[in-house]
Structure 1
Amino acid sequence: MQHAIVALLSAATTPTPTPTPAVDPNLVSPGVVGFLFTALIAIAVIFLIWDMMRRIRRGRVRADIQEQLDAEEQAARATEATEVDDQSIDPAADEGRGDAAAPPKG
């Protein structure tokens, strides 16, 4: 038991030196060059995001215009088809062959 107390007291009284840094903090920090490089990367990313949003917006507008033009073209085709149907339902009658739907005589 005495050896344990002596060991504790001798360990407690022995001064330990404060650890000194093994590496100089000025040599391992990025410094001004690191800050400028990081700022340049941040500015480039912001520019790329801005450009991407502009391109997406243009694509949406073009898609909306194309959709509108397609709808107008489809409506025009439907109108033309209705006019053709109204003009002649029986194509044989237009050619002067008479009524194609009439049963043969005889």
Structure 2
Amino acid sequence: MISLLNVVLAVTPTPDPDFDPNTVTPGVVGFIVVFLIGAATLLLGFDLVRRIRRTTYRAEITARLEAEIAERDADQSTPKTPGDKPE
């Protein structure tokens, strides 16, 4: 393990004395890449919300239709007056 550490330290170059790590920036290309990733994430979020909302509306409509059908079937099977018989 110590020999591996010695090899890594021997291969690692010494930093340039004029190099300031605080002035290193990703530049314009880095800004564009980060901006595009953020925009894609935002658009995917809007698409996700739209799809979830659509699915929720479909489930609500299906439940309403099933309730209306059950109500209609219940009305048809119960007699309206004491003399009526169910069909």
Q: TM-score range by the shorter chain?
A: 0.5 to 0.7
Query: TM-score, normalized by length of structure 1?
Result: 0.53
**1:4-45 Cα deviation digits (max 9, x unpaired):** xxxxxxxxxxxxxxxx85635599421111100000000001
Q: List runs of 5+ in structure 1 lacking aligned partners.
A: 1-19, 89-106
Which TM-score applies when normalising by structure 2? 0.63
Q: Compare CA radii of gyration and give the structure with the larger one.
A: 1
Instruction: Output the CA distance in 1 between the equivalents of 2:51 and 2:34.
Output: 26
Q: Which has the higher contact order (CA 8 A, sep 6+)?
A: 2
Task: Select 1:23's aligned residue among 1, 19, 23.
Answer: 19
1:56 aligns with 2:52: yes
Q: How does 1:1-106 map onto structure 2 within 5 Å?
A: 21=17, 23-25=19-21, 28-83=24-79, 86-87=84-85
- Cα distance, 1:59 vs structure 2: 1.2
d(CA) in 1 for partners of 2:21, 2:33: 19
Alpha-carbon spacing, 1:21–1:57, altered in 2? closer, same or farther (3 Å): farther
Instruction: State percent identity of aligned pairs.
Output: 45
Counterpart Cα distance in 2 of 1:22 and 1:65: 69
Give the count of matched residue pairs. 67
